[in-house]
Structure formats: structure tokens, C-alpha cells
Amino acid sequence: MSNALSLPQPQLPLLVTGVAGVAGYNAFHYFHTLYPGQVVGLRRADNWPLNGPGLIGCDLEDEAGLEQLFEQWRFGTVLDCDGSCALKSCELDPAMARRANVEGVANVLRMVRRYDSRLVRLSIDLVFSGTRGGNHDIADKTDPVTVYGKTMVEAEQLVLNEAPDTCLLRISLPMGISFNGHAGAIDWIQARFQKGKPATLYYDEVRTPTYCDCMNLMLHQVSCHPIQGLHHAGGQRCLSLFEIAQIVNRVGGYDPDLLMGCYRMEAGPLPPRAGNVTMNSKSLDTHLEREVFAPWPLDEAWVPTDRNWHYERGSEAGSHELLSDVLYRNPELADLPNPVAVTSDSS
């Protein structure tokens, strides 16, 4: 854990919200391993299968419950990864989306002001429509096409207006394990292939994915660093969702015929899909004085060259083990804490 141990210690205790999501789950495990007994992971109260040491059930919309938690722990640092990213559910129930993605943030802001906590808040690249060629800078105007994206923009404005000293980070697809085996991009795609089911992904939705190993180190650094305001935290390599699925298919050694591709306009109207929402994250590198994110995948040999690339099988046979070693983990950061399943009921 040399990379982690060389960083300063954040103000403890530390609260990580949204541990049901990939970013929050991986961050909680990382910090909980480094600072046992001083890190709390917050999940929604009804998500009882997500349990284990340091994990507590409390909805961010429950202001009284949240205040009781802060009064008990008096958190020095809050890493807010909470929110509902279920695109279709948000479209069908905008009130739920606003409760989860805006009202909870408002309660967190009240708590961190009252208890003088350092706040790091995660947002998302889907605040953009993806119709302007990608490579978005932080100065670019937001124009989301989904209810999810719109509520995340509202939450961003709330944070920037009421707590400008917060570090607000727009992330893309965090590539790491999820607690239930299907919440993350890799997990969902791999789960389809493992069951012999087809997976259809878009040629023209383009993202900037990141290893969770890199993200955890970045979150550790910004938790201790005076960096504030809005920053982009996307990876170096731009990949379409179809290309990401190609990589999972070939590295995992799955049947190439199970992967289907289509354009967004060929899909149904619900939920609407963004296009090229890739982000330029050089300002974060500048502030932290290092290259924050390695390319995902790290080895360029695993980057598709055409739409039939996943049919090509080289001398190294794909496998679940290989996928775990080179897609879930950054091979150069293999000594960092690696999350394990904390539930046996829903995995």
C-alpha cells in the first residue's frame, strides 16, 4: 500500500455515502482498510443486504437520522457519492430522483457546515448531452438529456452556491467491483455474458472510464488537499459503451456472438441516452501536480481496433481471472486495498 501510505491522513472520522454504487463501495473499502474503526459507510436504510463492519443504514433525506449520525461521529471529512443513477427509474419518477439527488445533498450541506467537515462531492459526466463533440471542459454549459442528469446539475449548483470550498468532481464510469455483482459497468456486461445472455451496447455513447484504484488515490489526495470548486475527473482513454463491452467480452473469454451493438437513435425513447460526454480532466492533474488517471484498460493491446475486434482471440486466452487482474484492477496499483463482497444474500 505504498501509494496510499505516502499520502497525508484526511481529517477523521470519515463518512462515505452512497456505498451501494461502484465509486462509493470501492472508496469505502479503501479508506476503511487504511483507517479501521474511523470510517463509516452509509447505505440506504432499506438496502439491508449491504452490511458489514463500518456500514450503517440511513437515508440522506432523513435529516434527523443524519444529524444523529453526525452528532455521534463528528465527521472530519465527508465523501458524498450518494444519488440514484438508475436512468429509467429517474425518468419514470422525477420526484424520487430529486429526493435522492438533490434533497439528500441539501441535508449533507447543512451537516458539514454545522460540524465543520471537509466535503468532497461526486457528480457525473451525464450533465452533458454529448451532442457537442465531447472533450468537455469545466467551463462548458451543461445540457443534460435525462432527469438524472438534470437533478445532478441542480445538486451541483446547490453545492457551488452554498459551499464553494467543497471539492466537486464530475466522474465518468468507475471501473471496479460492485457489492451485488451487477451495479457496475463491468459487472452488468459480464453478468450477461456469464449467463449466456446477449448484451446490446451503443456505438455512439462515449465515456472516459477510470480504474477505481486511481479514483481512490485521487479521492484520498483531494480529501487532504485545499482544492475546491468544480473539476472533471474522467480517464485518459475515450471509449464507447460498445467498445467497453468488446473489452469485457474478449478479456473475459466470453462468446463474441453475445455482444450486439446499435446507435442510440435505434433504441427506445426511454430513457434518453447521451452521446459523446467525454471530459477533459487536465485541470485536476495540474492542481494535484501529477497524472491522476491511468488509461482504462492500462494495456493498449486490450483496446478495440474495429467492431469485430472481440472475435479475434490471441495466444492469451481470456478468463474471469484475467478480467479481474486487468480490468477491475489497475495492474500498477495492485498493492492498494481491494474490495470484497460484504453480502451473501444478493450476490
d(CA 140, CA 81): 23
Cβ–Cβ < 8 Å for 170, 234: yes
Lowest pLDDT segment from 133-142, 160-169, 180-189: 180-189
- Count other C-beta atoms under 10 Å from residue 345's C-beta: 9
Residue 346, pLDDT score: 35
Q: Which residues of 282-310 are buried (b: 16+ CB within 10 A; e: fewer)?
A: ebbeebbeeebbbbbbbeeebebeeeebb
- For the chain, the average pLDDT equals 93
Cβ–Cβ < 8 Å for 205, 241: yes
Question: In sequence order, what DSSP letters do the residues of 330-342 get, joined into one string?
Answer: -GGGTTS------
Give me the percent of the chain exceeding a pLDDT of 90: 85
Residue 106, pLDDT score: 95
d(CA 330, CA 297): 8
Residue 316, pLDDT score: 76
Q: Residue 46, exposed/middle/buried by CB under 10 A (0-12, 13-18, 19+)?
A: exposed
pTM of the model: 0.94
Residue 347, pLDDT score: 32
Query: In sequence order, what are the residues at sequence separation of 6 or more whose Cβ sits closer than 8 angstroms to the Cβ of residue 236?
Result: 208, 293, 294, 295
pLDDT band at 2 (very low <50, low <70, confident <90, very high): low
Domain ranges of the chain: 2-333
Choose among 341, 315, 316: nearest CA to 328.
341
Cβ–Cβ < 8 Å for 168, 142: no
Name the more confident of 250 and 344: 250
CATH 3.40.50.720 describes domain 2-333: yes
Query: In sequence order, what are the residues at sequence separation of 6 or more whose Cβ sits closer than 8 angstroms to the Cβ of residue 210?
Result: 171, 172, 173, 174, 175, 233, 234, 235, 293, 296
The set of cell numbers assigned to 20 is 451501494
Q: Which residues of 15-40 are buried (b: 16+ CB within 10 A; e: fewer)?
A: bbbbbbbbbbbbbbbbbbebeeebbb
d(CA 299, CA 308): 19
pLDDT band at 199 (very low <50, low <70, confident <90, very high): very high
Convert the pLDDT of each residue in 208-231 to its tens digit.
999 999 999 999 999 999 999 999
Convert the pLDDT of each residue in 92-144 to its tens digit.
999 999 999 999 999 999 999 999 999 999 999 999 999 999 999 999 999 99
pLDDT band at 1 (very low <50, low <70, confident <90, very high): low
Q: Is the pLDDT of residue 329 over 90?
A: yes
- Count other C-beta atoms under 10 Å from residue 1's C-beta: 12
Residue 342, pLDDT score: 40
